[in-house]
Structure 1
Amino acid sequence: MQTTSLVLTAIAEDRPGLVETLASIVARHDGNWIESSMSRLAGAFAGIVRVEVPVGRSEELEAALGALAGEGIAVTVKQADAASENHGQAAHVSLMCQDHPGILHALATLFAARRVSITELETEAYAGSMSGERMFRAEVDVVLPIDLAASDLSQELERLAGDMMAEISFADVT
């Protein structure tokens, strides 16, 4: 059976049963839940999900998910384009420094300039254990373009770390 791959995003005020609601609709349309990432942030639920649905069922699924707006769940659906995936080297970047505006912007700007694709990003600001000063942490999974050497990106990250007075570590993922 041929399938269509869809990426769904869902945002709602957090409450029990949101994931079950989404999963139920996907299942009713013979969909297969492939991968997801979901979080609760400031009282809101936000999730991104990749599902596969039999060819010809995606419009029905999209309509059913769109009807959730009446329940306060905003869902967007985009057809996934597997051909656009970047197949270069995978790496992980960790950053930690005293919190200040522009940290993520600087990191994202470096990645964009070098055509590095962010595949997963997790950030948090928290009180430092010793000083109590607010700290910022980012954990980033990336895929380098085929023509970018990991050593070149690592050197650029070291320069950025010096400019921001941050600790940045870079590790190849095999």
Structure 2
Amino acid sequence: MMTSLVLTVIGPDKPGLVEMLAQTISDNGGNWLESGMSRLAGKFAGILICEVEESQIATLTTALEGLEAQGLKVTAERSDTHEACDQSQSFTLELVGHDKPGIVRDISSALAKRHVNVERLTTELVSGSMSAELLFKAEAELLGSADLDLDELQEALEGIASDLMVDISLNK
């Protein structure tokens, strides 16, 4: 029986880390399924899902732990969850505005109060096109219940956007 493992990885960025991780997974009977990885502040960080036979889990996790000697810390967790049922709706959120503390906190609070799950979140600071000021950009893939009132959510987010001086849009 195949089991999914969620791996988190972090280490000083250098060429060959992805290859080293992929080779270790492959050499120990694993199959790389999905991932998201980035270089952040000189570190290589990522999360990925791999599949492995139940009988190979211990061997694979031991091999992954051994990568720490080469600078890559890997944590493995079994995935117990199943995909969300069809009783939900997915949508995206896009945000852009001047950077200031609390943007992610305030937006995520509004989403959590409405039981909206953040499936994926990407944020970055970019230089403004008309000035050298830093702009905060965020893109999120969200999942809410089928009966979630998107108009009410949009109104709540617009209220926050006004206070934060950012632009927010929801797209179905």
Superposition TM-score, scaled by structure 1 size = 0.92
Q: 2:29·2:60 contact (CA, 8 Å) conserved in 1?
A: no
1:50 counterpart residue number: 49
Distance in structure 1 (CA, Å) of the matches to 2:153 and 2:59: 44
Distance in structure 2 (CA, Å) of the matches to 1:100 and 1:165: 9
1:70 counterpart residue number: 69
1:119 counterpart residue number: 119
Distance in structure 2 (CA, Å) of the matches to 1:131 and 1:18: 37
Shift of 1:150: 2.2
Distance in structure 2 (CA, Å) of the matches to 1:68 and 1:86: 36
Aligned ranges 1:18-167 → 2 under 5 Å: 18-83=17-82, 85=84, 88-167=88-167
Secondary structure in 2 aligned to 1:163? helix
Secondary structure in 2 aligned to 1:132? coil
Q: Deviations over 1:105-150 (max 9, x none)?
A: 1111111221111111111112212122221111111111344222
CA root-mean-square deviation: 1.5
Structure 1 residues 77-86 or 9-18, which shifts more?
Answer: 77-86
Q: Deviations over 1:51-75 (max 9, x none)?
A: 0101211111111101111111111
Q: 2:117·2:143 contact (CA, 8 Å) conserved in 1?
A: yes
Shift of 1:85: 4.0
Q: Which runs of 5+ in 1 are unaligned?
A: none
Superposition TM-score, scaled by structure 2 size = 0.93
Q: Percent same amino acid at aligned positions?
A: 41
The code of the aligned residue for 1:100 comes to K
Q: Which runs of 5+ in 2 are unaligned?
A: none
Distance in structure 2 (CA, Å) of the matches to 1:121 and 1:83: 20
